[in-house]
Amino acid sequence: MPTHSNNIKRFTYYNIIDFPEEREDKAPTKSIPKSLLQDFLEVLGKEIMKEDQPKLEEIEQELQNLKKEKEINQGESGDVESNRTESSIIAQLQQMGYIKDSRKWLSKKGFFAVGGKLLEDVIRALNKGTIGLHETTFSGSGSLNLDSTKKYEPSDDLRLVNVPRSILNAIQRRYSSRSSIQLPIDLQLGDLEVYETKRDVSIAVVYCIDLSSTMRYSTMFGDMSRIEAAKKALWSLYLLNQKFFPSDSIHIVGFGALASKVSPYDIPYLKTFESGVGFMHYTNYQAAFRLAKKILQNETSTNRKIVLVTDGHPSACFIDTEQEKNKILCERPYSQFYAPDTEALNSVKQKQELTLDTKSGKLVYLCYRYRQVDQYIGEKTILEARKCHKLGIDIDTIMVSEEDSLLSYVNELEKYVKGRSYYINPAEIDKILITDYLNDKKSILRSN
């Protein structure tokens, strides 16, 4: 996390508000009380993030049971309860615009409403009460003028002088010294005040989420799987960005043996690659880095960053030349290589709606070693990370795993790129991502 000097620090706080997308639909909402609607949205969020998403008919039963429980707790009669549960809750939510008749059944309005509920839960867990905590110790000129002013300092831009306030200061100074007011008014340096500014520092971030087969496992920390925890975190983070920092760019990349760019609206539907079905379930950091690098090279922001979310060592890398392949085969005759054919690529596109990036590399070297990284793959991965670093792209890694050996390798990688590594409880990933994102926002607010 950033270190800070003893300068004055100011904070900006934001209240939780509705997203504009939530207010687009004007369908009547009286059929579902607001408090009950929030409970329904929470259920939808929990169910849609599961690896094997239940059908809407199954979710309907869960919503009906929740509704019955609420009515019983409120002391309503059985007859009223029976009448109310006859109507389909899913149909009501569909009429209200939260659900659509599609495999990806969450509408855009539902995406923002459910995600907003997740974001509120994260912020509440941070124990801050509200979103914000833009801590800063930086001072200087910025791009956005504020209504407030401060005393002029030699480094300030004279074009920002608040003329009426400065003249008033001069008059008050003369008056307090019992001197007569004369025209033209004699302005001294201490009379000058300038408008304060806020620098709008934009950030472009690519979050690379590991879709290897082990990400579907639950951990010792709770029932939520690693992939579910990661999806919840990215969903919340994307909505935080849309609500408060729309000038920033948030991109998502999912990766196994190959990588694919993911639409933020598809975060809830991300699935891991199955082991035993092809070789996509291996973990290729290099594929993630190469695709993320291409995305960030098209961004104009000077602050560019890759955040890798993974639970395992790299177990695959690209082979770019025939010489590389022959070298590996000479040392390890039984090595395994993988080049996905058209049928495999189409299968992934159909089942998981991912368009895999084959331009970054087509031939993949596969080598999984228990609790250790293959030396060749480790070196190729670090080399790719260093290429990103030379382009001014920072790399941080978040490890959702209980393996100490993973920590050792990632710390070595981050040493070469001067990045940060987080070894965390998967249940805390949403809080870590949002806190890290907010700490990287260095807005210039004010200085004394």
> What pLDDT was estimated at residue 363?
93
> What pLDDT was estimated at residue 351?
85
| Mean pLDDT for the stretch of residues 431-446 | 62
Which of 139-148, 294-303, 323-332, 377-386 is predicted with the least confidence, judged by mean pLDDT?
139-148
Distance from C-alpha of 52 to C-alpha of 226, rounded to nearest angstrom = 14
Contact in structure between 398 and 414 (CB atoms under 8 Å)? no
> What pLDDT was estimated at residue 15?
44
> What pLDDT was estimated at residue 175?
73
Give the number of other Cβ atoms within 10 Å of residue 57's Cβ: 9
CA dihedral (32, 38, 43, 44) positive or negative: positive
Query: Alpha carbon 303 to chain centroid distance?
Result: 15
Query: Alpha carbon 287 to chain centroid distance?
Result: 20
Distance from C-alpha of 152 to C-alpha of 187, rounded to nearest angstrom = 12
Contact in structure between 53 and 47 (CB atoms under 8 Å)? yes
Sequence ranges of the chain with CATH classification 3.40.50.410: 203-439
Pairing of strands 259-262, 316-318: unpaired
Given pLDDT bands bounded at 50, 70 and 90, which one contains residue 265? very high
Distance from C-alpha of 344 to C-alpha of 338, rounded to nearest angstrom = 11
Backbone phi, then psi, for 152, in 5-degree steps? -65, 140
| Mean pLDDT for the stretch of residues 417-428 | 79
Which of 81-90, 324-333, 352-361 is predicted with the least confidence, judged by mean pLDDT?
81-90
Distance from C-alpha of 229 to C-alpha of 318, rounded to nearest angstrom = 29
Class of domain 203-439: alpha beta
Beta bridge partners of 422: 398
> What pLDDT was estimated at residue 80?
46
Q: Indicate if the pLDDT at residue 227 is higher than 70.
A: yes
**Single-letter residue type at 371:** R
Q: Tell me: the pLDDT tens digits for 166-223? A: 888 888 887 777 677 777 777 888 888 887 665 556 789 999 999 998 888 876 556 7
Given pLDDT bands bounded at 50, 70 and 90, which one contains residue 264? very high
Burial of 163 (0-12, 13-18, 19+ CB in 10 A): exposed
Task: Say what percent of the chain tops pLDDT 70.
Answer: 80
Alpha helices (runs of H) in 74-138, residue ranges in sequence order:
78-85, 89-95, 108-125
> In sequence order, which residues have a C-beta less than 8 Å from that of residue 438 and are 6 or more positions away?
132, 133, 134
- Rounded to a whole number, what is the largest CA-CA distance in the chain? 97
Of 18, 226, 170, 48, residue with least CA distance to 109: 18
On average, the pLDDT of the chain sits at 79
442 or 205: whose pLDDT is higher? 205
Q: How many helices (H) and strands (E) does the chain have?
A: 13, 15
Q: Indicate if the pLDDT at residue 447 is higher than 80.
A: no
Q: Is 253 in a helix, a strand, or coil?
A: strand
First to last CA, the chain: 24
Given pLDDT bands bounded at 50, 70 and 90, which one contains residue 257? very high
